[in-house]
Amino acid sequence: MNQYAGLRQSKGRNQPICDLRSDTVTRPDAGMIAAIAAAELGDDVYGEDPAVNRLEASLAERLGKEAGLFLPTGTQSNLVGLLAHCGRGEEILVGVDYHVNKYEAAGASVLGGIALCPLDIDADGGLSHDAISAAVKPDDSHMAISRLLSLENTHNGQAISLARTKASADAARASGLAVHLDGARFFNGITALGCEPQDLAQIPDSISICLSKGLGTPAGSVLVGPKDLIAKARRWRKMLGGGMRQSGLLAAAGLYALDHNVARLAEDHQRAAALAATLGAFGAGEVTQASNMVFFTPGDGRNAALQAHLAESDVVIGAGESGPIRMVLHRDVSDAGLDLVTQALQRFYG
């Protein structure tokens, strides 16, 4: 499954009534725009932007980490974290379908000379203790040096349990590896698990958290971890062109999102469950749901026809030509929007 399949199908649209392609499509609400407009600004490359400094410190404290670093994108946040952990000729163990391995253009390898060692992913989205231990390379000059385990939570919407995540991390540390977590939807994960942020955050050494997915900001991610690692990551951020100037405009949106958009994530999960139940009732294909995501594989293979039908009702999905269709619920899909989708589906399958 390619989670980006069919994303260009909405070309020409500005803002459809209901866009289920991803939770990255959200627009700032009035409160967030006001926070952006009121942001006190400075030059972040000089370390002088108050909003950026507050965001980095606030998220690091919330997750029980020493420091944070604000970056333009989640891909760059993961990349500078991997580069800070590993040197050329070293290796990262990572799930074969995790974003770091599959959807980030092999940046760690291309730009950092770091090998990516993909591991099979278990049904719950996690990596097994035994698979991790078996993948660690011996001290042999013929092989890369295993240095880091890169986990993901959530994975395809699945919130991987604390026990499972800890077991994976323990396996890595037993072999001398550090642990990074791609927590793009970290707060969806803890919402689904019903735990506190630090319960999950204490397991990995570093975490990348995206602000423009479930939290609804225009852009930005934060990498948190030990001070020395974040200092290395800051140097990599500059080298990769991620040092911004008055980026407090974006950081202010992130601060607003942390205060206002975390608690409401449960609403997205509830709407996803409702959409999955609707699809399941049609008996028209395989349906699964996890946190804010629904995966629907039409039994008749009419992905394109369904996509075109929904578009007529101003509902946008990324369908691809075949296979599972990912539908993502987010803060810009209201109950009214969900009703619109339900009615359009009923017309198609009724």
pLDDT tens, position by position, 252-288:
999 999 999 999 999 999 999 999 999 999 999 999 9
* Residue whose token pair is 């020409």: 12
pLDDT tens, position by position, 284-342:
999 999 999 999 999 999 999 999 999 999 999 998 888 999 999 999 999 999 999 99
pLDDT at res. 1 = 57
pLDDT average, residue stretch 11-27? 81
pLDDT tens, position by position, 127-150:
999 999 999 999 999 999 999 999
170 versus 10: which is more confidently predicted? 170
For residue 224, is pLDDT > 60? yes
Q: Which two tokens stand for residue 150?
A: 């890169």
User: Could you tell me where the DSSP H helices lie in 126-247?
Assistant: 129-135, 162-174, 186-193, 197-201, 227-239
pLDDT at res. 10 = 46
Domains of the chain are: 7-23+264-349 (3.90.1150.10), 30-260 (3.40.640.10)
pLDDT at res. 91 = 98
- C-alpha–C-alpha distance, residues 261 and 252, integer Å: 13
pLDDT at res. 344 = 97
**Cis peptide leading into 73, omega within 30 of 0?**
no
For residue 15, is pLDDT > 90? no
pLDDT average, residue stretch 47-54? 98
For residue 8, is pLDDT > 60? no
pLDDT at res. 350 = 81
What is the pLDDT of the chain when averaged over all its residues?
Answer: 95
- C-alpha–C-alpha distance, residues 70 and 183, integer Å: 14
- Backbone torsions φ then ψ of 2, nearest 5 degrees: -105, 110
Q: Which two tokens stand for residue 78?
A: 């993961």
For residue 2, is pLDDT > 80? no
14 pLDDT band, cuts 50/70/90, is: low
pLDDT tens, position by position, 78-88:
999 999 999 99
